Structure 1
Amino acid sequence: MQGLNPSNRPHGDPSRHAPNRPAPARPVAPQQRRRDPAPSRLAYRLNRLMLTPLYRRLLHVGLPAFLAVMVAGIWLSDEDRRASLTGGIDGLVQKVQNRDEFMVRMMTIEGASPVVDKGLRAMLPVELPASSFDIDLEKLRERVLKLDAVEAIELRIKPGGVLSAVVTERVPVMLWRHARGIELLDKTGHRVASATSRDVRKDLPVIAGEGADKAAAEALALIDAAGPILPRLRGLERMGERRWDVVLDRGQRIMLPEDKAVMALEHAIALVRAQDLLARDVSVVDLRMGNRPILRLGLDAQNMLRRARGQEEIPTGDSADGDRAVASNNKKKAG
């Protein structure tokens, strides 16, 4: 088989084959080292660390906060800078608080009598105009409630710079006579005011004795139960801070027990209605023994009884002397 290149054929002998010569080699570019797609161990660990939520928060929030606090601490370490900052903040606060929309210029009081109104204005230490931020309503309320005549008060600042005070006064329902004078009490026994005499409030019932104010509720219940004898009622007297005596006109008295005093008074009123007991010459109706009322006769009835017995009459005086005389005669008879 002849070579494909006719130029390589020999000219002398056409039957001889031409020698094979290698083709010239092409220039080969130097091969570059391929990059390994896998990261290094350090890069891999840092990448995994950045995916941790705690580390990301620490890096994104904690580190900036730490730097900010450190810078602020260094800046505030200087005393002059701190004083300047404090003065600037105080000045800004005062400027805001003293704006016209926050100023209170007048005070109104509703529901108070003239006397309470005057005392209330004297007790409220507010110099107007004043900033609403400088008025402590809770402390003012505590000061006002120290007035005996004030039961409750509502304090608030209305729009327009008005300090409004709505007062609920205590209503006196009885007079309390004791060793130190006369006082007006409300339904709970709380003091309302002092009175110079009984004539100041003739429309109110009277209670007397030490500790009577603590049993004011029971006294009101007894007065409500008095019913038919109410026109003759002079008052209630607290005896030994334990029980009540109902004091009537004509020197008569109903002695009530410690317990169930209202029931005992209703029983006495039933006796009055059935037997007209108090119309007789009886000075004391003693109900301390429960269902066994004990009657103490008046002086005239005692003398009448003594005349019937042929005994010496008791001189005209108080009933206590008569009682002592009767007790003395009884002892003589017993002897």
Structure 2
Amino acid sequence: MQGLNPFHRGHGDGGRPAPVRHVPARPAPALNRAPRRDPAPSRLAYRLNRMMLRPLVRRLVHIGLPAFLAAMVAGLWLSDETRRANLTGGINAIVDRIQHREEFMVKMMTIEGASPVVDKGLRAMLPVDLPASSFDIDLEKLRERVLKLDAVEAVDLRIKPGGVLSAVVTERVPVVLWRHARGIELLDKTGHRVASVTSREVRGDLPIIAGEGADLAAPEALALIDAAGPILPRLRGLERIGERRWDLVLDRGQRIKLPEDKALQALERAIALDRAQDMFERDIAVIDLRQEARPVVRLGLEAQNAIRRARGQPEIGPDGKPVEAAGKSGGKSTKKSG
């Protein structure tokens, strides 16, 4: 069988010869091939991308830059005086047409709770003549002007449907008369001026206070008047002394001097003493209560003369001098002159 195998001859002990493998030849290097592009970003692109990640930079780019460009364009357009005048005129015309529409017009004014004098003054304070646009009436400024009136305590201003300007006025109620060097004025319970009067007879139903600074202490004076209930028919008024304290003036020339502090308590003690001993019915000119521990009483002229007659002393006149001495001195002077 070996003789029949032609590949066995001359090849030794082996069988078939190994197949021959051909090694491919290396291609020749291309001289004109383009270089491959690097996918990594450049240094400038990297920095720009990192910068755009900041919120502030994004706001500047997306909002600030367009706003700046728009402002610049608007400024350039408005730099022309004719364009500005046309724009202002157009805007004013539009605003005027809107403000003077029928639903914004005020046609009449109603005032409640005001006296004729305050009513007339309030109508005179309107900044425009009716009918007028509600945009031309500043209610806050008008309220401030109305409150400057002495007789007005509060005012409620509002524009009602139908073009009606409504004013609800609360006037001050005068409760006391204040006599001072410049005249007589009406005051409310807080001491605020209400009006001036020519004489006390205009409001004879009101008590009267006198003296500089009495208006500032009007609440205290009203409390004293309320406490003087039993002697109220005899009360003629209160006088402010030195802008510190009060004197109660009664009829028959009697005067009660009250202390600077705790005047109400001192008056109550004096009224209690009068109830017990009828002190105010006696001939007493002055009751000094300025010292709580030692009240002082000054007798009237008749009581003093009665005591002097009982002691055998000469009577005194209103000037405090003895009547006989005054007559003798007068007679001697007459003889000397003759």
Relative to the length of structure 1, the TM-score reads 0.80
Q: Which amino acid aligns with 2:250?
A: L
2:186 alignment partner, SS class: strand
How far apart are residue 283 of structure 1 and its match?
A: 1.6
2:195 alignment partner, SS class: strand
Match of 2:333 in 1: none
How far apart are residue 270 of structure 1 and its match?
A: 1.3
State how far apart, in whole Å, the 1-side matches of 2:143 and 2:239 are.
36
Matches within 5 A, 1:101-250: 101-250=103-252
Q: Which amino acid aligns with 2:103?
A: E
How far apart are residue 275 of structure 1 and its match?
A: 0.8
Q: Which amino acid aligns with 2:284?
A: V
State how far apart, in whole Å, the 2-side matches of 1:45 and 1:180 are.
86
State how far apart, in whole Å, the 1-side matches of 2:157 and 2:321 are.
62
Contact 2:314 2:322 survives alignment (8 Å): no
Partner deviation per Cα, 1:45-71 (whole Å, 9 max, x = no partner): 665555554444333333332322222
Q: Which amino acid aligns with 1:165?
A: A
Match of 1:289 in 2: 291
2:174 alignment partner, SS class: coil
1:176 alignment partner, SS class: strand
Match of 2:39 in 1: 38
Are the structure 2 counterparts of residues 33 and 52 from structure 1 closer, same or farther at C-alpha, using a change threshold of 3 Å?
farther
State how far apart, in whole Å, the 1-side matches of 2:244 and 2:322 are.
29
State how far apart, in whole Å, the 2-side matches of 1:40 and 1:281 are.
118
Deviates more, 1:213-222 or 1:117-126: 117-126
State how far apart, in whole Å, the 1-side matches of 2:41 and 2:272 are.
111
Are the structure 2 counterparts of residues 133 and 233 from structure 1 closer, same or farther at C-alpha, using a change threshold of 3 Å?
same
How far apart are residue 76 of structure 1 and its match?
A: 1.4
Are the structure 2 counterparts of residues 220 and 275 from structure 1 closer, same or farther at C-alpha, using a change threshold of 3 Å?
same
Are the structure 2 counterparts of residues 252 and 52 from structure 1 closer, same or farther at C-alpha, using a change threshold of 3 Å?
closer
Q: Which amino acid aligns with 1:89?
A: I
**CA-based RMSD:** 2.8
Contact 2:151 2:171 survives alignment (8 Å): yes
Are the structure 2 counterparts of residues 263 and 55 from structure 1 closer, same or farther at C-alpha, using a change threshold of 3 Å?
closer
Partner deviation per Cα, 1:202-258 (whole Å, 9 max, x = no partner): 221111122211111110111111121112111111122222111111221111122
State how far apart, in whole Å, the 2-side matches of 1:60 and 1:98 are.
42
Contact 2:191 2:218 survives alignment (8 Å): yes
Partner deviation per Cα, 1:139-188 (whole Å, 9 max, x = no partner): 21121112110111122222222211111111111111122221111111
Match of 1:59 in 2: 61
Q: Which amino acid aligns with 1:181?
A: G
Are the structure 2 counterparts of residues 285 and 80 from structure 1 closer, same or farther at C-alpha, using a change threshold of 3 Å?
same
Long gaps (5+) in structure 1: 3-21, 23-31, 330-335
2:228 alignment partner, SS class: helix
State how far apart, in whole Å, the 2-side matches of 1:67 and 1:207 are.
74
Contact 2:128 2:136 survives alignment (8 Å): no
Partner deviation per Cα, 1:112-145 (whole Å, 9 max, x = no partner): 1222212222233331111111112222112111
State how far apart, in whole Å, the 2-side matches of 1:324 and 1:125 are.
69
Are the structure 2 counterparts of residues 47 and 233 from structure 1 closer, same or farther at C-alpha, using a change threshold of 3 Å?
closer
State how far apart, in whole Å, the 1-side matches of 2:119 and 2:106 are.
19
Q: Which amino acid aligns with 2:134?
A: S
Q: Which amino acid aligns with 2:228?
A: A
Aligned residues: 297
2:65 alignment partner, SS class: helix
Match of 1:5 in 2: none
Are the structure 2 counterparts of residues 163 and 295 from structure 1 closer, same or farther at C-alpha, using a change threshold of 3 Å?
same
2:169 alignment partner, SS class: strand
Contact 1:124 1:144 survives alignment (8 Å): no
How far apart are residue 314 of structure 1 and its match?
A: 3.0
Among 311, 314, 318, the alignment partner of 2:313 is 311
Q: Which amino acid aligns with 2:186?
A: L
Partner deviation per Cα, 1:236-294 (whole Å, 9 max, x = no partner): 11122222111111221111122211111111111101111111111211112223222
